[in-house]
Amino acid sequence: MTAPFSRRTALQAAGATALAAGLSGGLTATAAHADDAGPRPKLVTYPRPSAVPTNTSFQVRVRTAPDGDWQTLDIYRPQLEEINATTGSGKVYNSSLAYFDFQCSVEVEVTYLKGGTTKARVRPDSYGITPELLGDTLRFTLDEPKDLVVQINDEIFDCLHLVTNRVEHHVPAADDPDVIYFGPGLQTVTGGVLTVPSGKTVYLAGGAVLKATVYFKDVEKAALRGHGMIWASSGQGVLCEGSSDIRVEDVIIMNPGNYITTLGEARNVRIRKVRGFSSKGNGDGIDIFSSSDVLIDGCFLRNSDDCIAIYAHRWDYYGDTRDITVQNCSLWADVAHPVNIGTHGNTDAPETIENLVIRNIDILDHREPQMNYQGCIALNPGDSNLIRNVRIEDVRIEDFRWGQVIYMKVMYNTKYNTSVGRGIENVYVKNLTYTGTHAGPSLLLGYDAEHAITDVTFENLVINGVVIADSMKKPSWYYTTDEIQWFSNEHVTNLKFLTTAEAEAAAAS
């Protein structure tokens, strides 16, 4: 369950001949020596290890703009799931993924090899990328790294996920004793679990594919980073328990047997630009249990269950969850919620989930047939949990397949809970937009007068271009929620819908 601790030993284990072959081809290389060899390249691509599955729907090329030499990217095969609403069975689809690094303006060319292209879309829509369509080939330019989905003819699964990074600046030294280094190629560790000691950094070079779970257990000041990939086909991608001062940055986590990342009783964790794809049942993205001071920043998650879930007690994790920030992320839930908060807790010693910030988020899709598990953002306290002090700001929801925009329910879900949640308090939602036609009514449901939802404010809620406010023109006997076919019950108190001007005036008074 351990791995060599030096870069040199890791490279010897991988095989020097294979490494040298992986680094041939001009700019097709890792940036491992960029700090030592003078100026960094403007464009870096990486070979896919031959043992890692590929997909054949797309050809992808990239070049420095406007007239650099074209480089063909290798394609990986993330797998994605769709639930049959009649039978409950899941169908797994093959999809496509490519990645590269750059520090200039680049032109990207994508060819759909199956043919018959009539339209193309580059998402998230908020990036405003309109590709030039030339038959089955499309082109567009990137001036800075972004994570994108390229869809042809509105295909949901047979699409291309394009992951891009800046060329690395600070690459570990060859013999750094505090680094566990994995070079290009398919890498394994004994037992399929890499247990990381305190003070160590696991580094995955571009082109590396580590077939293991990275495990932080009761350690501090440890990290996982690099432009490589975890292929955790039989376990989780990253598991962090009882640890503090942990950093996880830039890696791609593909096809885990369970969650992309789990935090349990963790403190001071920073997860930046993690990209995760899953298709197995309960294939959540990043799940947080009984943890504090967590930042999830710049991640792209496409999952077969909740993309981000924030809970209190479950399994062997105990305690409150607080001070969690999720920002600058793109979320795509093929099953369940893009964001889910509150289901699991401790009936015997009630816990609190508080001080949550969710901001600058693009939600690309949400598909969930079960009403109790809907909501692009769901606040569903059970197990005597109290959810309070939640700020949701600058969230852009594209049209999704099946579900609700937002769902707040103080629940007693007997499948998971042994008691009703204590309530939801002080939620502020600012600049949330939804554009589409597939959303069902959003529901805000207190359980009873003692387990209620209180003090919820929507500022500048925009549904299909219309600002929803209590002051909008409507029949006097209508509720504001009637205008958008939402519903709140009698156990929701002090619910407000304000324009930005009204909110600013109220704050100034």
Over residues 70-117, the pLDDT tens digits come to 999 999 999 999 999 999 999 999 999 999 999 999 999 999 999 999
Torsion sign, CA atoms 233, 231, 327, 302? negative
The pLDDT of residue 174 is 63
pLDDT tens digits for 254-288?
Answer: 999 999 999 999 999 999 999 999 999 889 999 99
Q: How far apart are CA 129 and CA 200, in angstroms?
A: 40
| pTM of this structure | 0.93
Tokens at 82, concatenated:
């769709």
The pLDDT of residue 468 is 98
The pLDDT of residue 28 is 41
Helix, strand or coil for residue 134?
Answer: strand
The pLDDT of residue 232 is 84
Tokens at 223, concatenated:
């990290």
Torsion sign, CA atoms 254, 256, 260, 261? negative
The pLDDT of residue 281 is 86
The pLDDT of residue 198 is 98
Query: From 3.30.70.1350, 2.60.350.10, 2.40.10.10, 3.40.50.2020, which CATH number describes the 7-165 domain?
Result: 2.60.350.10
The pLDDT of residue 21 is 31
Q: How far apart are CA 499 and CA 509, in angstroms?
A: 16
The pLDDT of residue 233 is 78
Q: How far apart are CA 433 and CA 468, in angstroms?
A: 10
The pLDDT of residue 264 is 98
The pLDDT of residue 228 is 98
Domains of the chain, by residue range, sit at 7-165
Compute the chain's Rg from CA coordinates: 23
Which regions of the chain are under pLDDT 70?
A: 1-38, 174
